[in-house]
């Protein structure tokens, strides 16, 4: 594993790790009970994402299933290493963001929906709720994912309900966006189900505002994850007319209400993030202090350089 890690550190060598026999043996490490090996595995997989053509191979070898199972195993045994959690989250979210079908394959071939339900039901895995909800949200543009979540009396409906009832505010907010998507695309086949979903959506903002985990518990960086890529465009489409219908004719009041509430939270958080930003001098001093680590300095430059838009400009 150490040898593979050294190889993965150089992008030129990534093709060696992508050889089917090597990748298969590497993923077999997920079956071990060694958190150190798990951390190394997730680090290597994260680096593989940069190789062109590697994502399809990772999907074929069920890498998403392996990494989610690694998280389940390590969290079930206690406090997992921070490096493991960070690498695993990065790998899964990046893979699904760029290849949403990876989640569909996980659900169809690897029992992913059953695993989601199991993790959401067990209080030990509450820390995974926002991560799992983000994975689903990133793939919500796929009609097959929408159908899997809205199937009457299906596991997907149980998963959606579990996110809605989660103690994690981000998971609950994402459940609202998922319900809004299903309503907009008329995925609920029974009128009664659609009506209950709309009522639940209307109640969610009030629940989030008044509960112990209200929007003040949400951070702007989390909301940026929700909106990154083309996700903000998907949110906007929830309140625009489809086809040749006049604007507003096919609007769903519960969906419009929830999206407007979400945007108000986003703007409020962006304004707060702008207010809380350190002064230019302090930021320059912080950047100077961080320069001792090239990796961290690069990350700081990417997030705080002059070309980076402020939260208000972002919105």
pLDDT, tens digit, for every residue of 71-101?
Answer: 999 999 888 999 999 999 999 999 999 999 9
Percent of the chain with pLDDT over 70: 79
- Please report the pLDDT score of residue 282 as a whole number: 45
Residue 285: is its pLDDT beyond 60?
no
Residue 279: is its pLDDT beyond 90?
no
Count other C-beta atoms under 10 Å from residue 15's C-beta: 13
Token pair of 158, please? 């149980």
Interior angle at CA 224, CA 104 and CA 70, nearest 5: 45
pLDDT, tens digit, for every residue of 110-128?
Answer: 999 999 999 999 999 999 9
- Please report the pLDDT score of residue 174 as a whole number: 98
Percent of the chain with pLDDT over 90: 60
Q: Mean pLDDT of all residues in the chain?
A: 84
pLDDT, tens digit, for every residue of 159-174?
Answer: 999 999 999 999 999 9
**For 53-62, 83-92, 211-220, which range has the lowest pLDDT when averaged over its residues?**
211-220
Using pLDDT thresholds of 50, 70 and 90, give the confidence band for residue 22.
confident
pLDDT, tens digit, for every residue of 233-277?
Answer: 999 999 986 655 555 556 899 999 999 999 998 888 888 777 765
- Nearest C-alpha neighbor of 141 from the set 254, 39, 64, 230: 230
- Please report the pLDDT score of residue 49 as a whole number: 87
**For 173-182, 201-210, 254-263, 299-308, which range has the lowest pLDDT when averaged over its residues?**
299-308
Query: pTM score > 0.75 for this model?
Result: yes
Cα 311 to the chain's mean position, in Å?
20
Residue 52: is its pLDDT beyond 90?
no
Using pLDDT thresholds of 50, 70 and 90, give the confidence band for residue 312.
low
- Please report the pLDDT score of residue 293 as a whole number: 38
* Spatial distance between the Cα atoms of 110 and 64, rounded to a whole number of angstroms: 9
- List, as one string, the DSSP characters of 259-311: HHHHHHHHHHHHHHHHHHSPPHHHHHHHHHHHTTSHHHHHHHHHHHSTTSPPH
């Amino acid at each position: 594993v150490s040898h593979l890690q050294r190889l993965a550190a150089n992008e030129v060598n990534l093709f060696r790790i992508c050889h089917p026999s090597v990748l298969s043996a590497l993923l077999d490490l997920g079956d071990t009970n060694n958190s150190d090996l798990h951390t190394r595995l997730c680090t290597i997989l994260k680096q593989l994402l940069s190789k062109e053509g590697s994502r399809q191979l990772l999907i074929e070898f069920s890498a998403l299933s392996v990494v989610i199972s690694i998280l389940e195993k390590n969290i079930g045994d206690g406090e997992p290493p921070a490096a493991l959690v960070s690498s695993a989250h990065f790998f899964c979210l990046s893979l699904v963001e760029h290849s949403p079908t990876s989640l569909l394959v996980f659900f169809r071939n690897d029992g992913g929906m059953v695993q989601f339900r199991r993790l959401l039901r067990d209080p030990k895995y509450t820390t995974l709720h926002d991560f799992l909800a983000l994975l689903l949200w990133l793939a919500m543009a796929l009609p097959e994912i929408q159908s899997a979540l809205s199937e009457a009396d299906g596991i997907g409906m149980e998963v959606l309900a579990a996110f809605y009832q989660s103690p994690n505010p981000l998971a609950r907010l994402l459940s609202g966006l998922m319900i809004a998507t299903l309503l907009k695309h008329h995925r609920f086949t029974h009128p009664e189900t659609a009506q209950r979903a709309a009522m639940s959506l209307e109640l969610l903002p009030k629940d989030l505002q008044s509960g112990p985990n209200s929007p003040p518990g949400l951070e702007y960086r989390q909301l940026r994850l929700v909106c990154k890529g083309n996700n903000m465009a998907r949110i906007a489409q929830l309140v625009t007319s489809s086809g040749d219908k006049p604007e507003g004719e096919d609007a769903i009041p519960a969906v419009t209400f929830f999206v407007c509430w979400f945007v108000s939270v986003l703007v409020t958080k962006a304004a707060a993030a702008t207010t809380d930003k350190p002064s230019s001098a302090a930021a320059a001093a912080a950047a100077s202090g961080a320069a001792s680590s090239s990796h961290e300095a690069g990350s700081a430059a990417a997030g705080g350089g002059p070309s980076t838009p402020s939260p208000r400009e972002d919105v």
